[in-house]
Chain A
């Protein structure tokens, strides 16, 4: 994978795709998007990096193990609704809060967003776990 063009392009594309994936995640509640496709987009950013460079450098870029990502994501998704249970409501009842940023610009955030972040991390982790280990498998000395 010695393509100079690909490498150079990746340097610029990677942050853009990552930003786009987070944008997808956050807008998902009102526009097309969401944690699932956001996670996939983020994974494709890393895969692009892996195609342009190699697996070790991608792992360095990730900074955490993909299995840790999966676990963290599951925990976040599970835990997103613990507080509502303490309230005596059924599990996964949503809670919303309004953040007043300026007088006419308010932000509505709720537990479903936290859940979606969990989904995002699980999808990202699983995709990377499978793809990276398969690529690594190929690279291993036989």
Chain B
């Protein structure tokens, strides 16, 4: 399974190379990868259906218990099949949709990467691994949404999707870490084996909250739904793939996956049902005001995702089955409708449903596919959508509060299905430039195959989807065997009555579409208060905060920098002293020797001298006294290396200061006594803190000293008698490497700064 996930990444990396030799045909080659994966997943179906869980483990970072562990059960298989099958169709579609685009291979490459990440999410056995792939899907979707990066809206939409899902990702990370700690393992297999043991855990509410925010943001649940319609800036194949059939369902997958662990509690049922219903209604309400093909579809996707979350929240056996079947049906018809919408816009250059019509003449095949998908979406009998809707109704019939929103959303599905899938092909005329014609076979393959799936699921639901749905539902419910009985027609039941009612109301609503749109646009100002605005305001606020803190902290005044650094040190030190509540008792009586006493006095004199000096040169000389005395102290304490280095640094430092001073304005202190007083306070505080810290450091021993070890092994292991140097270049060479890297960066920056100033000087 590792290879199954990695093949997508490898193919994505190789594609640019392939493109060089094969040109646009490389996309067709790329489509082979998901096709092969589909076949592979399909062949493992019999084993999974018999209740087996396929597992593959390979170690990655054993130090932090992170393993490349993958598991394949019914739920994972359902998603894996959707991802790879629709992936193949979408890549095929892309090869024609982006025909002539020089960056086609980049798009296909990103699509492959996305596919591999998505497979990683649904197959990962390790929670941390799942999170990594989860983030990768956000990242690759950023690339796909922002594919037309010359357009500002694309960039904005891509960034928005990234920020919203990325923020959710952070919540998820925290949730995953807490969950893994609480369960005692990061392996999903082991956590699932524990089975609802977490519901009574003290951290349960926090874990649940964090994971729900992560899942809701990914699956565009209210109040995070706004990024999804905006993401329609993406090229149509990406919308069809990410925003209808796969990525947005990652949140649903996560909820379904963790249902056995976190589900069944009051909080779970309450939150999922409430947010699901709210999303359902938001999606329905917003869709009514739309006139563009893709945005219409996007809002119904929001509603459909709300549906799934709501069903998972209800959590009864029937509801879970309904969620699974609805998910399958939705993936088939929604991807198909997106692809057809892409064809329509591609051929006519028009995306406004009000101005589309009469296209059946020009594109009979696309029209037929579109009608089939629309029928499925509307839930007419003998379509996959009908089977799904019957199941949904059956599971919510006895819950009035949920039933009404479900009917409302189904009503909306009828209206949108008509507008997007059927109306463009009814007699009428389109305002289009030139004559539209049938799309090439590569673009039709997707809608045709998905349309056939819609029909197959409608006529022979049990044979087409029964076993897969059963094993997926079983996995969601934690291994209970789930009997699924899908039938094309149940006879007259309460569900079918409700269905018929929905359809009739829906048809009535279709005839009143004009009013709908008017009502919808009348409500548009409401959007000003929506979460989209909150997002914009937050971004602006963040920028303002950044500007403000840069102005305060990065003022450009060297004095202020020094003051901030010193005060920060004093503050941190003071805080820790306050928290421990006691000043260190200075019980160590280090005897004062005469030489160190003299040196100490000299150092103090030097420091005072540098303060009262009337010219810079004399200040430097006074500081030099301090430096040389310090190096003598090193000598006294038997550290000749340090002393030597300090001496050379002092000499070079004096040269540096003198050359720098020649560029400074003349030396006279323009500061008033207030400023001097402030500086003195800062200096005294800093000196006091430093002194205390040094005295305390004598008594603090956090870990056993390793000085002894170094002294013993210096010659044995390091082949050197100078312990300091052996430590520097051998024992702690990595530290030294870090230090010289910092040094190198500092040097390069200094040169760059001076060069910039010099260029500016020359220009003026």
Which residues does A use to contact B, with CB under 8 Å? 24, 28-37, 40-41, 43-44, 47, 51, 66-67, 70-71, 73-74, 77-78, 81, 91-92, 94, 96, 108, 110, 112-113, 115-116, 118-119, 122-123, 125-127, 129-131, 133-138, 140-142
Q: B721 an interface residue at 8 Å Cβ cutoff? A: yes
A110: chain B residues at CB < 8 Å are: 719
B628 to chain A, nearest CB (A): 15
Q: Is the CB of A35 within 8 A of B729?
A: yes
Q: B750 an interface residue at 8 Å Cβ cutoff? A: yes
Q: Which 5 A-B pairs have the closest CB atoms?
A: A126-B747, A29-B720, A32-B640, A40-B648, A112-B729
Chain A interface mostly helix, strand, loop or mixed? helix
Chain B interface mostly helix, strand, loop or mixed? helix
Q: B501 an interface residue at 8 Å Cβ cutoff? A: no
Q: B734 an interface residue at 8 Å Cβ cutoff? A: yes
A130 to chain B, nearest CB (A): 5
A47 to chain B, nearest CB (A): 6
A73: chain B residues at CB < 8 Å are: 740, 744
B40 to chain A, nearest CB (A): 34
Assembly CA distance A29 to B652 (angstroms) = 24
Pairs A–B under 8 Å by Cβ, sample size 6: A33-B725, A94-B718, A115-B730, A133-B750, A138-B659, A142-B761
Q: B497 an interface residue at 8 Å Cβ cutoff? A: no
B637 to chain A, nearest CB (A): 14
Q: Is the CB of A43 within 8 A of B733?
A: no
Q: Is the CB of B659 within 8 A of A92?
A: no
Q: B316 an interface residue at 8 Å Cβ cutoff? A: no
Q: Is the CB of A74 within 8 A of B659?
A: no
Q: B746 an interface residue at 8 Å Cβ cutoff? A: yes
Q: Is the CB of B659 within 8 A of A28?
A: no
B56 to chain A, nearest CB (A): 26
A94: chain B residues at CB < 8 Å are: 717-719, 730
Are A134 and B725 also in contact (CB < 8 A) when A36-B645, A70-B744 are? Answer: no
Neighbour of B655 across the interface among A33, A51, A67, A122, CB < 8 A? A51
Q: B748 an interface residue at 8 Å Cβ cutoff? A: yes
Chain B interface extent, by class = 35 or more
Since A29-B721, A73-B740 are in contact, a sample of 10 more A-B pairs with Cβ atoms closer than 8 Å, ordered by chain A residue number, is A32-B644, A74-B741, A92-B737, A96-B719, A112-B729, A115-B733, A134-B656, A136-B754, A137-B663, A140-B762
Q: Is the CB of B750 within 8 A of A77?
A: no
Q: Is the CB of A130 within 8 A of B750?
A: yes
Query: Which residue of B is nearest A21, CB measured?
Result: B648
Are A74 and B729 also in contact (CB < 8 A) when A112-B718, A138-B662, A140-B758 are? Answer: no
A123: chain B residues at CB < 8 Å are: 740, 743
Q: B344 an interface residue at 8 Å Cβ cutoff? A: no
Most buried by A among B726, B743, B750: B743
B722: chain A residues at CB < 8 Å are: 28-34
Q: Is the CB of B655 within 8 A of A126?
A: no
Which of chain B's residues 724-764 have a Cβ closer than 8 Å to chain A?
A: 724-726, 728-730, 733-734, 736-737, 740-741, 743-744, 746-748, 750-751, 754-755, 757-758, 761-762
Assembly CA distance A131 to B657 (angstroms) = 9
B747 to chain A, nearest CB (A): 3
Which of chain B's residues 206-230 have a Cβ closer than 8 Å to chain A?
A: none
Are A135 and B733 also in contact (CB < 8 A) when A30-B722, A32-B641, A126-B746 are? Answer: no
Are A40 and B652 also in contact (CB < 8 A) when A32-B641, A74-B741, A108-B719 are? Answer: yes
Assembly CA distance A33 to B725 (angstroms) = 8
Assembly CA distance A96 to B645 (angstroms) = 27
Assembly CA distance A37 to B289 (angstroms) = 74
B62 to chain A, nearest CB (A): 15
Q: Is the CB of B641 within 8 A of A33?
A: yes
Q: Is the CB of B751 within 8 A of A130?
A: yes
Q: B696 an interface residue at 8 Å Cβ cutoff? A: no
Are A119 and B740 also in contact (CB < 8 A) when A32-B640, A34-B728 are? Answer: yes
A115 to chain B, nearest CB (A): 5
Query: Which residue of A is nearest B734, CB measured?
Result: A92
A127: chain B residues at CB < 8 Å are: 652, 747
Assembly CA distance A54 to B407 (angstroms) = 88
A38 to chain B, nearest CB (A): 10
A96: chain B residues at CB < 8 Å are: 719
Q: Is the CB of A44 within 8 A of B652?
A: yes
Neighbour of A37 across the interface among B648, B663, B744, B755, CB < 8 A? B648
Assembly CA distance A136 to B761 (angstroms) = 13
Assembly CA distance A127 to B655 (angstroms) = 11
